[in-house]
Amino acid sequence: MPAIEVKGLTKAFRTYKKQPGFAGAVRGLFRRHYEQLFAVKDINFTIEPGELVGFLGPNGAGKTTTLKMLSGLLYPTSGTASVLGHVPWHRHDDYRRRFALLLGQKNQLWWDLPARESLDLNAKIYGIPDADRDRTVAEMTELLGVKDKLNVQVRELSLGERMKMELTASLLHQPKVLFLDEPTIGLDVVSQKTVREFLRAHNAKNKTTIVLTSHYMTDIQELCERVIIIDHGRLFFDGRLEEIVDRFADFKLLTVHCVNAAACPADSLTRFGEVVEQNASFIKLKVKRDRVVPVCKALLDELPVQDLDIEEVPIEDVIRTIFAR
């Protein structure tokens, strides 16, 4: 049985549209104009147990709204969803014990208490035995490098330390499904790397189903084989990360290193592809995928090429292009 199954899920919000000026405000007292805005519209996908899936989209695409519906915080306008065999917005206790939602911009730990006391409170809420709680907290905080911060007030922790404690709190009851909304937002590169390594290890060990949203493409590339992209509330892409490059980037980047710059003038290379970068030591060309082999052969035959590099377009650039559309 799939861990998560979504069919035709839709969420619309009714918003008041105020007319401009004082006269518009007065008219609004007697007759209001409303608009229906779709945050999520008719999306369908299935996620199997143990999958770690990237959930991508530009700001306002509907990512967080979808996660809130799947965690039972919002009721959908229409459509159905099943998570671990439960309808999320029915909010059955058995379901609430089996999933966790971590919002990068929200706090679940008590601001004025040491992190340890907030974790103790969470353990009591979930009915976790003291021995299991102590073992889990010790293991996770050790892996995240914040074991020595357990007795520090949450307000005195750095952003990275606080996020690691939040992650520990979310996983304390060993959920089978974890929704992560921007878990590394605002963190330094070292903290981001630590969180990524922890999530990879936790997923491998516990087979936890993880749905991850992030604007840092490094998070997605290092953690997720599959990505789901939504835009304006609609499903745009669902498949392997590598397929995005194949479908939306029909070219590769060739970096040509010549014996000297004068030997490989940029204007002589434009017939091979688009020049995207050049300096005294190299020229970078954008070449159609089906022309890469003949272009490389021609370059080596016709010019004093010292070295030639072929690389895929960075996935971050591909995603940026998709969002721009």
pLDDT at residue number 70: 95
From-to residues of CATH 3.40.50.300 in the chain: 4-245
Pick the most confident of 108-112, 177-181, 246-250, 255-259. Answer: 177-181
pTM of the predicted protein model: 0.80
- pLDDT bracket for residue 315 (50, 70, 90): confident
Other beta carbons within 10 Å of 34: 9
- The mean of the pLDDT values for the chain is 86
From-to residues of CATH 3.30.70 in the chain: 250-324
Burial letters 239-253, b for 16+ CB under 10 A, else e: eebeebbeebbebbb
CATH number for 250-324 (one of 3.30.1490, 3.40.470, 1.25.40, 3.30.70): it is 3.30.70
Which DSSP string do the residues of 44-110 spell out, in sequence order?
EEEE-TT-EEEEE--TTSSHHHHHHHHTTSS--SEEEEEETTB-GGG--HHHHTTEEEEETT---S-
Q: Please give the C-alpha separations between residue 323 and each of 215, 228, 292, 317, in angstroms, as whole numbers.
A: 12, 13, 27, 10
| pLDDT (average), residues 302-315 | 80
Domain at 4-245, CATH class: alpha beta
Cβ burial, residue 199 (10 Å; 0-12/13-18/19+):
buried
pLDDT in tens, 21-72: 767 676 766 777 777 888 899 999 999 999 999 998 888 888 889 999 999 9
- pLDDT bracket for residue 19 (50, 70, 90): confident
Cβ(87)–Cβ(81) under 8 Å?
yes
| pLDDT (average), residues 122-130 | 90
Higher pLDDT, 186 or 168: 168
Distance separating alpha carbons of residues 290 and 250, to the nearest angstrom: 8
